[in-house]
Amino acid sequence: MRVLVTGGAGFIGSNMVRALLNRGDDVVVFDDFSSGRRDNLDGLPVCVLEGDTRDSGAVRKAMESCQRVFHLAASVGNARAIENPRADSEINILGTINVLEAARHGSVSKVVFASSAGIFGALKHLPIREDHPAEPDSPYGASKLGAEKLCLAYARLYPIDVICLRYFNVYGQFQRYDAYGNVIPIFANRILTGEPILIHGDGGQTRDFVHVNDVVQATLKAGDAEGLSGPFNIASGTTVTIERLARMMIDLNGGRTRIEYGPPRKGDVRDSIADISAARSAFGYEPAVALGDGLREYFLWAQKSMSGSRVDR
């Protein structure tokens, strides 16, 4: 099968590409390389097309002869969206419209869209089910929710299946340090460069971290699910405090890093844990990587990748 992965040179995307190749798919990667890296695809037998999802013509060309689309290209993160909400919305909403339009006019039977737990905003109850109120409190969450609504509208209007996967806090190999990014590579970078870890808030806030291998498994299963559309949470279904996470990572380096505390960040929720029963029931998603094992694997990868540099983009 010929498949398109938008954002295929990025963290999750490049892991997806490897999994698709391993099962014998013919893979096209479409990426503008604003955050994705060419070396994430080194040695892989893929067709790489450089372009921006805001360019409808480029999207249509990339999708030619593809039967399935994994739409992972996005502007990611609350901080980046707050700084530049216009670009965030253009990439996440207009880019998604272009993908959906190209898909419905082409030979695509299924689109899997990478959404985010950021759509929920301030939480009313835990664990978070798919029917939890979606009231995002950041431009990023709002743009992802808008893109989701478009995806589900297209699934109702046209003969195309669209699944929206609400990824929670994803971590793992190929996730490099970025000041806007996930807390795990930020902590790893500080540990490896001998700087103290900075926790925003008191450290008691909780998160549901899910390993990228589990996210890839879920995304592949969603893509293979026939006649299925809708939103699904993709997470581990477990929770850990940020302070506990920091201490687990410090222990991986022999306990030689201190922790400092700063003010909470705008747009951050206090607690988060997902109910993943819908994805388990609909397409057999089952997380397999425990946090301790995943952190150990990631830290070993980060040591090789970061090589002690402050910023590795």
Residue ranges and CATH numbers for the domains of the chain are: 2-170+211-234 (3.40.50.720), 171-207+238-273+289-306 (3.90.25.10)
Cβ atoms < 10 Å from Cβ of 296: 15
Query: Binning pLDDT at 50, 70 and 90, where does residue 267 land?
Result: low
The 3 state secondary structure assigned to 24-74 is: CCEEEEEECCCCCCHHHHCCCCCEEEECCCCCHHHHHHHCCCCCEEEECCC
From 171, 137, 74, select the one nearest 269 (Cα to Cα). Answer: 137
Q: Which residue has the higher pLDDT, 159 or 308?
A: 159
pLDDT of 180 > 70? The answer is: no
Query: Binning pLDDT at 50, 70 and 90, where does residue 308 land?
Result: very low
Tens digit of each residue's pLDDT (9 = 90 or more) over 28-72: 999 999 999 999 999 999 999 999 999 999 999 999 999 999 999
**Options 140, 154, 285, 298, the catalytic residue:** 140
232 has which bridge partners?
165
Tens digit of each residue's pLDDT (9 = 90 or more) over 83-140: 889 999 999 999 999 999 999 999 999 999 999 999 999 899 999 999 999 999 889 9
Q: What is the Cβ-side half-sphere exposure of residue 263, based on CA atoms within 13 angstroms?
A: 3
140 is catalytic: yes
Cβ atoms < 10 Å from Cβ of 104: 15
